[in-house]
Structure 1
């Protein structure tokens, strides 16, 4: 079955927003006058903003509401998003997106990020013309490693799962693709830490390795 659609995760695959979130959170901690240890911050990985704020309120006995803390953090994040000189697309991903697009491959974004963040990324880096659809896991009942987001993305592309490929970088995302029975290419970046690639069908560190002629043997 030939490759017809590629389902992209966003964070860690198209952009790496983690350093921006980190800067925004630590600026917020500073404003709140609290000292958050590395261990506590690490425990927030993958957690929703609400869960992080609720934990901070409980741990440090804060008077602020979840909404107030989240608003402060969101404003710092936006500031870094638009003005941090180090923030850019992950090396090689724009070329890969153009390569698929030029070869008639349907592209769907299937990310756990909020649609607000997805739209900010698409606008900043002018990705909108190349994707036929975007799905935010934040709008779904189930989140990765549940396969729902990728099954919906395949449906949005109008292709059976065997004609699709997922590009992921996280343990949960790879597991979600595996459960959806969709071929999964794992991207191992310099930022990838403690992720499990065991269930990925192929692992690359350079996006040029995912060009159609180099992966065609998987889709004969």
Structure 2
């Protein structure tokens, strides 16, 4: 029985990973640097330190003054301005799934590596605050994904045991964190391509968030 669903945010709830990739690519190109899709995939689900190292490994010898901190701070401000003015693009099926969960009394939380204030801001812009009484963001836990810490903290705050939780993720790091937490996990593809050994442990692969609904109905014997 699934009593709670824990959502990742970037690339899962919102179309932020692709927007970030395009902006990072543009920012790097202005300095003659090629930010690739493979680099962005390596960053999916990673914390700031890992992303900064990927950036340094690629560009440090070419342009040591242009760090990930410098690049990302500009991109983050640009993204926040874009979303504040135009709204944040939700992934297909998000609202449909949230309404389904709400109607059936299944608890919901967000567990993201993004800073808590960013998570709260994006949820506010999307007008989804009523669905998420529990938000776990960067700063709430010590170890980033693939550590299970963020998911376990979300379950604790929801007062639901780990085996009763379903995690929805778009990244390999997030899926691995769910397995380590002892939770069910569904992959909803975005930019990242998880390793085959990680996908082999996945309970399901759903092309959109709406496709999670039939799985939940079967799991919980719902009509």
Query: Which position in structure 2 is the counterpart of 1:160?
Result: 161
RMSD: 2.8
Residues 110 and 135 of structure 2 are in contact (CA less than 8 Å); yes or no, is this contact kept in structure 1?
yes
Q: TM-score with structure 1 length normalisation?
A: 0.81
Query: Which position in structure 2 is the counterpart of 1:201?
Result: 203
Count of residues in Structure 1 that have an aligned counterpart in Structure 2 = 213
Offset at 1:12? 2.1
Residues 89 and 125 of structure 1 are in contact (CA less than 8 Å); yes or no, is this contact kept in structure 2?
yes
1:45-75 C-alpha deviation (Å, 9 max, x unpaired): 2352644665577333344676554432222
Offset at 1:112? 1.5
Secondary structure of 2:80's aligned partner: helix
Query: Which position in structure 1 is the counterpart of 2:98?
Result: 97
Relative to structure 1, is the Cα distance of residues 176 and 53 closer, same or farther in structure 2, using a 3 angstrom cutoff?
closer
Secondary structure of 2:167's aligned partner: strand
Residues 53 and 70 of structure 1 are in contact (CA less than 8 Å); yes or no, is this contact kept in structure 2?
no
Listed as ranges, the gaps of 5+ residues in structure 2 are: none
Q: In structure 1, what is the Cα distance between the partners aligned to 2:59 and 2:211?
A: 46
Q: In structure 2, what is the Cα distance between the partners aligned to 1:21 and 1:199?
A: 29
Query: Which position in structure 2 is the counterpart of 1:5?
Result: 4
Relative to structure 1, is the Cα distance of residues 109 and 81 closer, same or farther in structure 2, using a 3 angstrom cutoff?
same
Query: Which position in structure 2 is the counterpart of 1:25?
Result: 24
Residues 186 and 200 of structure 1 are in contact (CA less than 8 Å); yes or no, is this contact kept in structure 2?
yes
Offset at 1:95? 0.9
Relative to structure 1, is the Cα distance of residues 215 and 206 closer, same or farther in structure 2, using a 3 angstrom cutoff?
farther
Selected match of 1:38 from 23, 32, 36: 36
Listed as ranges, the gaps of 5+ residues in structure 1 are: none
1:73-104 C-alpha deviation (Å, 9 max, x unpaired): 2222223333568x511111111011101211
Offset at 1:150? 0.9
Q: In structure 2, what is the Cα distance between the partners aligned to 1:213 and 1:62?
A: 52
Q: TM-score with structure 2 length normalisation?
A: 0.80
Output aligned runs, 1:163-174, within 5 Å: 163-174=164-175
Q: In structure 2, what is the Cα distance between the partners aligned to 1:201 and 1:43?
A: 22
Relative to structure 1, is the Cα distance of residues 145 and 168 closer, same or farther in structure 2, using a 3 angstrom cutoff?
same
